[in-house]
Amino acid sequence: MGSNAVEDLIEASSGVHYSGFHMEQPRTPEIEQPTTSIDDSFHKQPFIIGVAGGAASGKTTVCDLIMEQLRDQRVVLVNQDSFYHTLTLEELTKVHEYNFDHPDAFDTEQLLRVVEKLKHGQAVDIPKYDFKSYKNDVFPLRRVNPSDVIILEGILIFHDPRVRDLMNMKIFVDTDADVRLARRIRRDTAEKGRDIATVLDQYSKFVKPAFDDFILPTKKYADIIIPRGGDNHVAIDLIVQHLRTKLGQHDLCKIYPNLYVIQSTFQIRGMHTLIRDAQTTKHDFVFYADRLIRLVVEHGLGHLPFTEKQVITPTGSVYSGVDFCKRLCGVSVIRSGESMENALRACCKGIKIGKILIHREGDNGQQLIYEKLPLDIAERHVLLLDPILGTGNSAVQAISLLLKKGVPEPNILFLNLISAPQGVHVVCKRFPRIKIVTSEIEIGLNDDFRVIPGMGEFGDRYFGTDDD
């Protein structure tokens, strides 16, 4: 490995940043005010990775491997090659004298405009470059949508400080010169239709000097140096692991260590897509909501205390395991929370489930109007069930009641499907020792205090009372 050990340097890469969404700012409704505004928390930018290295060092291969491992995330690759200037007729006639490895060969201003747009959540059309015709006006252009991770790859991607400064992580692919040359000969003859003499001539005239003068000097900017490129699976795994941590960690989770957002996968995103779609039938809504609820409940149960337990297996061996926490109960917030009871019963045989009914009084307050809770609730760990955490006002009412009944704050686990940041702020500030488990953090609340993007009135959609 190069002078920088991947493990040491990976943590040093700057900035963090996840945003699952890129939208115009919603107006902040006048509810109990969080100290972190939507502005601060939610107009987040993508994580930008730069990948530099000599030609044929394996940059594209490394990027493909990273993207392959992160296929459940929104990742997009932007090649510096796309920003090669189109040659003029005069340059075309003397193409063998053109230096494609000099920084001036690229339209860096256009690259900057494109990355700035992506960074601010706008889709862009990127030129396609044709190595045979030396033109970048191949139609149709490539449409690139805003993503959570943007990978910028190219021989001179670290050359311009303005581009470098946009990057949260910089990777240099370090492959021996002879290996690069061998690969280049193979690639340029097979893919670009060039003959060996031309490839070697270009290499000695431009490629090698430019590597020494412009590319190698940018290695010092790298946070991570990958020797052997795509063959270095350890380095690639570490990079992916680091990215996963960054992507899975919503900024709210950093503010509130007791907030747990379950790791997103394509399956989970798919289920969310279905239950959020206004056109989804009641049958499908219930089916996919139930699947998600089950995941949240299982995840929540993972936060309960356990005791160690050993059992003897049928082979007579000892299995050292754990025993579930026994003194549990569920409490559902009527009516939506009742949709979560079956999942809890399916996971915890014979569990007692209490109920709370809270009535919304206009926009300002909530009133508790019914409660039926196990008498010994103070001795139990309580799984509080409500699929949506919006303003946080109902949750505050429900949690306050549990505390009044003697349930210790750390014994309360609030399970929901989606949480608005406002609700998270309100609940976590007031009850810093409860745990919240959710499957997605929302953008915010609209003027009517409804969660957006949200999924509408959960109870009506789940219990089928939204029919005209």
Ligand X SMILES: Nc1ncnc2c1ncn2[C@@H]1O[C@H](COP(=O)(O)OP(=O)(O)O)[C@@H](O)[C@H]1O
Sign of CA dihedral 392, 394, 399, 404: positive
DSSP 415: E
The answer to whether 60 contacts Mg ion (rule: CB under 5 A) is: yes
Give the one entry of Mg ion, ligand X, ligand L45E5XJ5, none that residue 352 binds, where binding means its C-beta sits below a cut-off of 5 to 8 angstroms depending on kind.
none
Q: Between the CA of residue 240 and those of 53, 247, 330, what are the distances in Å?
A: 19, 10, 38
The nearer residue to ligand L45E5XJ5, 100 or 158, going by C-beta atoms, is 100
* 55 in contact with ligand X (CB under 6 A): yes
Tell me the closest approach of the beta carbon of residue 140 to ligand L45E5XJ5, in angstroms. Answer: 20
Q: Is 419 in the site for Mg ion (CB under 5 A)?
A: no
* Partner whose footprint covers residue 134, from ligand X, ligand L45E5XJ5, Mg ion, none (CB < 5 to 8 Å by kind): ligand L45E5XJ5
Q: Which two tokens stand for residue 199?
A: 């490839």
Q: Work out how close the CB of 243 gets to ligand L45E5XJ5 at its nearest, in angstroms, rounded to a whole number.
A: 22
49: contact with ligand X by CB under 6 A = no
Locate 463 and state its tokens. Answer: 């219990």
DSSP state of 84: B
User: Strand 435-438 vs strand 381-385: parallel, antiparallel, or unpaired?
Assistant: unpaired
Nearer to ligand X among residue 38 and residue 210 (C-beta) = 210
- Cα 276 to Cα 23, 212, 289, 354: the distances in Å are 16, 54, 10, 28
172 binds, among ligand L45E5XJ5, ligand X, Mg ion, none (CB under 5 to 8 A by kind): none
Please choose, out of 3-11, 57-65, 244-252, 310-318, the segment that lies near ligand X by the rule CB under 6 A. 57-65
Q: How far is the CB of 221 from Mg ion (least distance, A)?
A: 19
Chain residues binding ligand L45E5XJ5 by CB under 6 A are 55-56, 59-60, 81, 84, 100-101, 131, 134, 154-155, 207
The one of ligand L45E5XJ5, Mg ion, ligand X, none whose footprint includes residue 61, by CB under 5 to 8 A per kind, is ligand X
Q: Residue 157, Cβ neighbours under 10 Å: how many? A: 29
Cβ proximity to Mg ion: between 40 and 191 the closer is: 191
Query: With CB cut-offs between 5 and 8 Å by kind, which of Mg ion, ligand X, ligand L45E5XJ5, none does residue 460 bind?
Result: none
The footprint of ligand X on residues 61-90 (CB under 6 A) is 61
Under the binding rule (CB under 6 A), the answer on residue 136 touching ligand X is no
Task: Give residue 300's identity as a one-letter amino acid code.
Answer: G
Rounded distance, CA 197 to CA 188, Å?
Answer: 11
Residues 6+ apart with CB under 8 A from 256: 424, 428, 432, 436
Is residue 383 within 8 Å of residue 300, measured between CB atoms?
yes
Q: Which stretch binds ligand X (CB under 6 A): 27-35, 91-99, 192-200, 224-232?
A: 224-232
Distance CA(221)–CA(158), nearest Å, equals: 7
Choosing from 20, 53, 330, 459, the residue that interacts with ligand X (CB under 6 A) is 53
Task: Decide which of ligand L45E5XJ5, Mg ion, ligand X, none touches 207; Cβ closer than 5 to 8 Å per partner kind.
Answer: ligand L45E5XJ5
Q: Sign of the CA dihedral 33, 35, 41, 43?
A: positive
Q: Is 208 in the site for ligand X (CB under 6 A)?
A: no
| Positive or negative torsion for Cα 457, 458, 460, 466 | positive
Binding test (CB under 6 A) with ligand X, winner from 34, 146, 229, 337: 229
- Beta strands, E only, 300-345: 307-312, 318-323, 328-334
- Per the structure block, which two tokens stand in for 251? 């900024």
Name the token pair of 404.
């009044």
Give whole-number Cα distances, 318 to 308, 313, 322, 323, 324, in Å: 13, 6, 13, 15, 18
Q: Are 39 and 429 in contact (CB under 8 A)?
A: no
**With binding defined as CB under 6 A, does residue 50 bind ligand X?**
no
Which CB sits closer to ligand L45E5XJ5, 131 or 287?
131
Binding mask 162-201 for ligand X (x = CB under 6 A): ---------------------x---x--------------
- Tell me the C-alpha to C-alpha distance, in Å, between residue 96 and each of 90, 93, 191, 395: 12, 8, 18, 70
Interaction site with Mg ion (CB under 5 A): 60
Task: Please give the residue ranges that form the binding site for ligand X (CB under 6 A).
Answer: 53, 55-61, 183, 187, 229-231
